[in-house]
Amino acid sequence: MTKVFGIEEIRAATASMDLTSVMEAGFVAYSDGKVVVPPVGELLFEEPPGDTHIKYGYIRDDRVFVIKIASGFYGNAALGLPSSSGLMLVFSQKTGFLESVLLDEGYLTNVRTALAGRIAARYLAPKVVKAIGVFGTGTMARMQVTYLSTETDCQNIVAWGRSDDSLRRYCDDMAALGYHVTTTRDAREVAEACNLIIMTTPSTKPLLMASQLQPGTHITAMGSDTPEKQELDSLILARADIVVADSLEQCLSRGEIFHAVRAGHIAAAQVRELGGLIRAGTRVRTSQDQITVADLTGVAVQDIQIAKAVCERLSS
């Protein structure tokens, strides 16, 4: 019989789970060639603006396979609705039967993305973070920062946003969690103050330019998850000492690496994959002046791993 789990059950289960090692194991399996991940299925909408991604796959010799549907509609705030929604379907890899439906409303996608940001910082961020720069003011702009608490004790945030109202709400929410937040509409102020920068917007035009970047900066970029989206000036990747993809194959068709390769600023051979960094188990930086970039486009293995773990906890 198919089990159906709702958002409250899912939130309660994940609250007591440490999923970092689960996510790391998934990235390693992916980079080791043990995961089958077809190209992303997607629907792109113009009016209102939004997109729906279908990500699916399986780990060889595993028990299940997973299909995830996740949507982001960026005008939903005006309707009093969250921008994200979705669900995950967990099937038996032995019989093909549907075992579980996770009605997570996009929550697990947010969690696995925040975990990927944590992992990227673990291997790439400077040892001492003086301030965290955040482009965006939505759910991911919040979660990425709070999930970094395992990697840095930095409480200083410089937040960039498109509107004063959204920046004010972000400032109030993060201040309630103990962070000191400075807000700005000027990307240069973020780059000058911060050596760890997180990009979380659905922008289709670069927001941060190579000329603004300071030595020793790490950037985790995750907003650019379709071919149309771009948050970074491609020359940033050309200037970077280390560029990392969650999936090199996927990042050659979407994300910041896609734009930089297409522009001829970097070659695919220069890009390292996150799973390889995790397997090596050590920080990648050899100098605190190095510039590093992690391009996180979201890989189905992340959905597989978090869906499996949550289903096991809810079924126990």
Q: Which residues are catalytic?
A: 68
Cβ neighbours, 10 Å, residue 194? 24
Run of H or E including 56: strand 49-59
Token pair in block for residue 12? 């309660």
Tokens (6 digits) for 125:
């961020």
d(CA 165, CA 32): 45
Alpha helices in 32-163 (DSSP H): 107-124, 139-147
Question: In angstroms, rounded to a whole number, what is the distance separating the alpha carbons of residues 151 and 118?
Answer: 7
Cβ contact 245:222 at 8 Å? no
| Secondary structure element (H or E) that encloses residue 270, with its range | none
* Nearest by Cα to 32 from 43, 24, 20, 44: 24
As given in the structure block, the two tokens for residue 195 are 């050596």
Q: Are 219 and 127 in contact (CB under 8 A)?
A: no
